[in-house]
Chains A and B, each alone.
Chain A
Amino acid sequence: MLVPEQLGKVDHSSLRVNQAVIILALLAAFIFDLPWLAAAVALIMLVGTGIGRPGFFFVYTGLLRPTGIVKQHVLADNPEPHRFAQGFGGVVAAVSSALLFLGASAASWALVWLVIVLAALNLFVGFCAGCAVYYWLNRMQVPGFLKEPPTETFPGMRPRS
């Protein structure tokens, strides 16, 4: 059954800080050749998905928001697609980490870069590819993908109101 127009509240500042930390950490992992760092990012993303929060929410709630560096930006939005997107990214990062430990360097770093590119697309352009996949699965009426995109918003684009 589809559930239209039951939007929750999503703090997009929290999501954007999460994306920024993921990008920086994975870039550092690539530049300094630190597979363990990529694995740690994957783990944090997956744990965050499990508890229903952005993996690096603690950077936002513990440091950036209290000091006023980043302000809240709460929008009417569905949290589920963002969780799905983070979970998908976490799985890709976990697979790349596993491949790194198995010695498949080029393929695994390519997957890490895929996560970096998609996180950057979300952070700088406002397009969440994982959310777009979620909404596409919703259109296909796949069980479990219940939420429709917010009104007047292209599926996956950051809502503006």
Chain B
Amino acid sequence: MLLEGTLARLIFAAVLIAAMAGTYRAGTSLVLARARRKGHGLSQFTPGTPGVVFFTTPDCVTCKAAQKPALLALADRLSGRVQVIEVDARDNAVLAKEWSVLSVPTTFVLDRDGRPRQVNHGYASTEKLFGQLAALGQI
């Protein structure tokens, strides 16, 4: 009886945790869908090559100390097969809002057509970004 109760609670907890994870994934999908719907609005993007959009601000220490070097390493590793676009979220506040950027650094992985396919809130390592680009099958 006690075990039954424990099992039922365990299943209940698992279902709730799965629901939370699903909600998080849905939220991420919504951010990407919103960014796609608004159009990427990036004059720097050249169609035909996947890209990474990097939202930053001049006073973001992590952006300078960690995210930028990670993106340089990514560009170096993919030598010309990825375009990295840096956007000052303060100077481009409308764009940042349309892309649901709440903090910096935030990076978006774009496919060859410029559609946002992945979003990373906070620092994203070279390996992580490489994996996300590789998952698109376009590098």
Contacts and interface: CB of A to CB of B under 8 A. Distances in A.
Contact of A160 (B9, B20, B60, B90): B60
A120 B59 CA distance: 29
B50 interface: no
A113 B60 CA distance: 35
Interface in A131-161: 151-154, 157-161
A33 B5 contact: yes
Contacts of B103: 126, 152-154, 157-160
Interface string A24-60: 0001001111000000000000000000000000000
B13 A31 contact: yes
B73 interface: no
B138 interface: no
Given A158-B122, A161-B62, A31 B24 contact: no
Contact of A152 (B10, B16, B57, B122): B57
A107 interface: no
A6 to B, nearest CB: 15
Nearest to B121: A126
B62 A125 contact: no
B90 to A, nearest CB: 7
B35 interface: no
A111 to B, nearest CB: 14
A32 B6 contact: yes
Contacts of B89: 152
A104 interface: no
Contact of A33 (B9, B57, B60, B61): B9
Nearest to B7: A31
B63 interface: yes
B123 interface: yes
Interface of B: 5-6, 9-10, 13, 16, 20, 24, 57, 59-63, 89-90, 102-105, 121-123
15 contacts: A27-B13, A30-B13, A31-B6, A31-B9, A33-B5, A120-B20, A126-B122, A152-B89, A152-B90, A152-B103, A153-B102, A154-B102, A160-B60, A160-B63, A161-B62
